[in-house]
Each structure stands twice: as C-alpha cells, then as structure tokens.
Structure 1
C-alpha cells in the first residue's frame, strides 16, 4: 500500500490517499445533494403535478428501495473489476439520471427516474468507503471515516444553498435544481481519474483467484452470514435515525412551525454544520474509545435532546435542538464507513459494506410516508417523538451487543493497530 508509517509515530496520508478520500467524499456529497433536492422541493413538485404530499414522499422511498440493487450490482462488479473503474461508471450513471429528472413531464416519469437514481446511489457509498478505507493507514480510519460520511451532510448543505439561490435569484424552480446536479458530478469523475486503484483490492483479488474463492463459499461461512444479518439490522436502525431526523424536518419547519421557506433553509444549513462537526469529531474519537462505544454514547444522548428538537417553537430553541440532534446523529454515523469496512470479508469488501448499508436503508425506506401520515393525523411533534424514541434505543442496543474490528488489518501487508476485537 502507498502509506507512510513510522515505527513509533502515527501514520500519515500520502497524496494518493488524500485524493482517494476526497474523491469518495465528493461522490457521496453529490449523491446526497441530489437526494436532498427531493426532500426540499417535494411539496413544490406535488403542487406542479397535482399529487398529494404522501405520494410525493414516496419518491424518497422509491430511491431508498432501489439502493440495495445498486449496492449488489456495482459492489460485486467492483470486487471483480476493481474499485476505481466501477466507481467512475456509477457516478456517470447517477449523474445522467439526476439531470434527466429536470425534464420529467409528470409524476410517473419522475418516479421511474428516481427508481433508477436509487440504483446509482446504492453503488456509490460502499465502493467509495471501501476504496478510501483500503487506502488510508489504520491509525487514520476513524478520522477519515468521520470526514467521509459527512459528505451526506455536505450534500444537504449544498442542496439548501442551491435552493436558496435558485428560488431567490431565478425562476427555474425545482427543475433548475435537478439540472445543476450534473455539474459537481463531472468534477467527481475528474478527481477519480487521478486516483490509483486500491492495492489492497489487487492483493485480495490475486489471492481469491489463486485459491479459487467464490462468493457462495464466503457467504456460506456461519460467522459471515450471522454478521451480515446483524449489520443489516444495525443499519436499519441507523437509517431510521438519520432519515427520521432529516427528511420530514424541512416540511415540519414550514408547515408545522410556519417558518418562511428561507428561514427553514437557514436552519437546515445551521444543523448541517452540527452534523459536520459531530461526524468528524466522533469518527476521530472512535479511534481512541472504540466504534461501538461512540455509537452508544451518541444514541443515548439523542434521547434527552429529542424534546428540544421536536417540541420547540421559538427560533432560538429550534436552532439549538436541531444543531444538537444532528451533532449526535451524524456523530454516530461518522463511525460507520470504518466500522463496516473493518467487519467485511476481504474478498467481497466492495459488496459487503454497501449491501448491509443499503438493505438497512431499504427496510427504513417507509420512514417519511409514515411520519407524514402521523403528522397529518396528529402533529409533527407527535410524529417525530413516537418514531425516534424506539430508534435511538435500537441503535444503542444493537451497537452494544455487536462486535468491532477497530484497527484490523485489511491486507496481509498492513499491520493492525491496538487490540481489535474481531467479529
């Protein structure tokens, strides 16, 4: 691997390592940018197409449902053909589909395009995470994991900024936002063209070919299969936590608390700052305190923050509650790229993290319609509280009963750090 280590000091990232991390971060940022465009404008699209908010909320569900398909297709392909090439193809695919959403003539066409977009989005995270984690030194995985996962918050932040600019300075409307989604993805393709292939993958691929290892043989191992089921359940709880605190919230600010659209967007920008801070700090902290300990800490802390987040009505308290909530939610998420990568079998590291993440996403895909229904029949505060209390508890419990492999060597030539607990 192209890493630099000193016998007694911490490892540092090479230039190629940094390019790989930046490429993965940028790809995930642009992916989230396009996803959150729908979250921010689905009420506007509902008005244009003459459909209900519940039907429009299903657009996000459709995207999430298709993510496991993309994770499987692109993940298995990357385990055979390499991370870099497949990532570039995936980015090109979802960029084109996102751009075409700007020209959807009706709800049906937009739904079909979002289904296709979900396939591309499903491939992005697992491949970007595996490439980055395979590149960086073990001592830096926690910090890099926290930074990498915050592409999600960055994408949300950029979507909010773009929404403000488009709606205040132009008459392009929601179609203009989708048209913009192709431009940053082109930059991602450029960056990825300068990243070298993962040497860990090359070594693993050579070993698998020499030993004639098959996917069936790997998944047939009891430990691998049990871990797969466990990680899917863990990621289901994680995705309920993130989508449950993010997707309905902009609508809650506008329709529930009657803030202006601009005020709601400024609040979104603020709480995404909390997400960026929490994910980076907690990801780095997991290198010292452990992946699971950080997740449990963040999930438990989310419970006393929930009343402030869901029941506040004044601007100051809403800003404080949403900032703190996204700090702990994305703080827990900052651990995940490293955690899933370290727990994945080497031969299917392109497939395994992505499929566990995205199957969990699929199972949590009905979060937004459920929250919208509860808000319509009761209130937004009721909807947020009754869906999030069990989710925080589930995240804490699943993390506490699991295993971790912090510092685990991803290749034979890489030295483990500390005393990892293998799953």
Structure 2
C-alpha cells in the first residue's frame, strides 16, 4: 500500500466506490421487493422479474461501454456509466407503475454491466504489478460491501420513509463523477495504445475483430466465469430462504447471519487476492475452491445455528476469496487493446449463464424434500460443489500472466501495430 502513488490511490478509490454503490443500487430491489409489490398491487414474484431483466442486460452494457472504453479511454465512459445508473436509480423511485419500473431496471442493467469492466480496467491499469493481487481482492468485495450498505439502509429507511426513498438515496453515486473529474487521471496504459485504436474502423468492426482473434480465450473465460457465477450465486441467492424455511431462523437471525457471511466475503476476497500475488492466481483459486467445498457440509447438514453461521462465514470467505482474484486475472489475460471490453464482457456473460442458479436450486429442493420441506441445504451443497469442480478444471487449464506489466505490454502492442501499418503502406 505504501508503494502506491497518490493518483493510483485515488483511481482505486473511485473504482471501488463505483462498484460498491452499483451493487448497493442493485440490491435495493431485493430488499424493497415486498414493498414494491404491495404498492403496485402485484405479487413479489412478478416484481422479481425486474431483477432478471437487469441480469440479462448486463452483458449488453459490458459490450457497449467496453468498446467505448477501448476507443475513448476508461475515465469518461465510466463517468457516463455512473451518471446513467444514478439517474435510473433516482427515476426508479418515481416509477408510477410496474411497466415503467421494469423499463428503468432494464436500463440499469446496461449501466451495471458496463461499470465492472471499466472500473476494473481503470484500477488494474493504474496499479503496479506487485499490488494487483491485493487490490483486486479489495475491489471485488465492493459487491458484498454494497449488499451490507443496502441492508443497513433497508433497516433504517424503509419502515419510516418507504421503499421509494431507498432509490432516491441510491442516486448519490453521481457524486463519484465529480471526484473522478478532478482527481482521477486517464489510464496511461490506454493512452499508450491510442494509436492502435485509431486504425480501427467502427464499433462493429471492433466487435468482429475481438471475437475473430480471441474466440477461444473468450469462450474459455466465459465458461470459467459461469463456474464462478454458479459457485457465488449457488451459495448466496437461496441461502436466506434456506435459513427461514428449513432452519426456522427469525428475520433478525437471518440478517445477522447474512451480514456475518458477507463480512467473511470481504475478508476472504482481500486475503486471497493478496496471497495470489505470491502463490499465483490459479493455485489460489483452486485452493480456495477446495477449502470452500470442505466446509459445505456445515450448511448442507446443519447441526445447530451457531455452526451454520460459522459455516456460512468460512464458505463465503473462500468462495469470494477465489472471486477476489478475478479482476486482476481477467485484466491480465485480456489483450491490451481490448482491456475495456474483454474482462467485463466475459464476466457478465458468465454471470448471465449462472443467473438461473436460484431457480434451479429451488426446483431441485422441491423435488427432493426432507421432513416435508424442500431440502434447500442439500441442493445448495450439490450445485455449489459441482460449480467448484468446474472452476477448478477451467482455472487449471487456462493461462496465467500474473507478472505482466500493462505499460510494457501496451508498448509492444503499439510497436506491432506500427509494423502492420508500415507493411500496408509499403504494399
């Protein structure tokens, strides 16, 4: 941490706040869902469709904003992205009916999909190679941090000011843009390869080129991120329902347990991200998946409530510990000219594949009941264990570029482009 320069610290803070507040806005719907349903005179399951719409449009945002970031820099497209999701969050609080609300959440999905890739690229390109592991782990934990902030505001706001006030509060991330405008510089690695991008024709040409040249790496990374998504969502999405339905946890116990588990996520992501700088990205992820699987029985075969809480802390520690490696790993694997597009697009497409995990677990739990109740604990353990095996397989068969220097890589890419241009001119 002491090795970072001032601009590197400020850049990372901006990226972390962008992702944290983006997650906060996303989870606002999850917490406010029953109140929204009551206001619109609909079933909660109908309102939940807005969450699905948000998830489905995240890859679209990753592609659009990723291409913009590769063409025009990381900073200003990210600022536009943050303004967009802040404005949509504010407007969601004024939605007069469900149709308007779901349309706004669709736009939010595009903005949310763009934020992760741009923020991760801006942060990772600003950091020295030896610091990427630690700060990758911290950056990824903006997601559970956003969850905890949403839980706190839910407790403090919704019963007194109503669900709409939560969305109005969610518009405050727009202030991050002011901070970025005056204190965060553009990525130096991107500026190094500006000449490379100036030879491209248009947005559609960029999409075609990146898929043509790197299709195998893209497919492998998407499948890896799908495994990550099923592991993360498989242990998280149905967990509160499992606590309430099967274990008879009270609302207070559910809140405390989920917050403790997410604290485990934050500590695990930071710790494992840091250790990946020494052990390597692949070894750290594989070790985390094995250890997470070892503690799954504490959730699947619950003995008592304290052990379930402890088990959730440890499982989340290692699941999100592995996820803490992702921002650094995907940016290191990314071709330098497409670092705005590649990490975010593969991440969001993998997440899209895994978006059905809660529904699959719920259905399997009903098919294999225990004591007359859906056996959610068993299905959470089975799906999560299978996903962990997938992550281990794809992580072990993929590459690793832990020590790559983004500035040097950009210079090589620039030289290669100049040689291509000179050859064309000669011909």
| TM-score under structure 2 length normalisation | 0.88
Tell me if 1:32 matches 2:28. no
Tell me if 1:178 matches 2:167. yes
SS in structure 2 at match of 1:312: coil
Residue 307 of structure 2, aligned match among 300, 314, 317: 317
> Residues 358-408 of structure 1, C-alpha deviation per residue, up to 9 Å, x if partnerless?
111111122233334444553322331232221111111111111111111
- In structure 2, the residue matched to 1:264 is 254
Contact 1:204 1:411 in 2 (8 A): no
- Distance in 2, matches of 1:361 and 1:338, equals 17
SS in structure 2 at match of 1:12: coil
- In structure 2, the residue matched to 1:351 is 341
- In structure 1, the residue matched to 2:320 is 330
- Distance in 1, matches of 2:301 and 2:25, equals 29
| TM-score under structure 1 length normalisation | 0.88
Gaps of 5+ in 2: 368-373, 413-427
Tell me if 1:219 matches 2:211. yes
- In structure 1, the residue matched to 2:188 is 199
Contact 1:54 1:372 in 2 (8 A): no
Tell me if 1:380 matches 2:376. yes
- Distance in 2, matches of 1:51 and 1:155, equals 27
Residue 189 of structure 1, aligned match among 177, 181, 200: 177
Residue 77 of structure 2, aligned match among 61, 71, 86: 86
- In structure 2, the residue matched to 1:404 is 400
SS in structure 1 at match of 2:193: helix
> Residues 257-309 of structure 1, C-alpha deviation per residue, up to 9 Å, x if partnerless?
33232332222221111111100010011111110111111111122211212
Q: 1:371 to 1:409 in 2, by over 3 A?
A: same
SS in structure 2 at match of 1:171: helix
- Distance in 2, matches of 1:154 and 1:142, equals 19
Contact 1:146 1:335 in 2 (8 A): yes
- Distance in 1, matches of 2:305 and 2:36, equals 27
> Residues 158-187 of structure 1, C-alpha deviation per residue, up to 9 Å, x if partnerless?
1111112124xx42333322222112x033
Residue 141 of structure 2, aligned match among 141, 150, 171: 150
- In structure 2, the residue matched to 1:3 is none
Contact 1:40 1:250 in 2 (8 A): no
Greater gyration radius? 2
> Residues 32-80 of structure 1, C-alpha deviation per residue, up to 9 Å, x if partnerless?
1112222333344445545445444433222111001000111101111
SS in structure 2 at match of 1:294: helix
- Note the C-alpha offset of 1:99: 2.1
Tell me if 1:390 matches 2:381. no
- In structure 1, the residue matched to 2:155 is 164
- In structure 2, the residue matched to 1:250 is 240
Residue 128 of structure 1, aligned match among 116, 119, 137: 119
- In structure 2, the residue matched to 1:297 is 287
Q: 1:182 to 1:375 in 2, by over 3 A?
A: farther
C-alpha RMSD over aligned residues? 2.4
Q: Which moved more, 1:336-345 or 1:253-262?
A: 253-262
Gaps of 5+ in 1: 1-9, 417-423
> Residues 143-162 of structure 1, C-alpha deviation per residue, up to 9 Å, x if partnerless?
11011111111101111111
Contact 2:262 2:313 in 1 (8 A): yes
The count of residues paired between Structure 1 and Structure 2 equals 402
Q: Which moved more, 1:43-52 or 1:360-369?
A: 43-52
- Distance in 1, matches of 2:117 and 2:66, equals 7
- Note the C-alpha offset of 1:188: 1.8
Contact 2:293 2:315 in 1 (8 A): no
Q: Which moved more, 1:373-382 or 1:363-372?
A: 373-382
> Residues 217-268 of structure 1, C-alpha deviation per residue, up to 9 Å, x if partnerless?
44322xx211011001011111111122222223333344332323322222
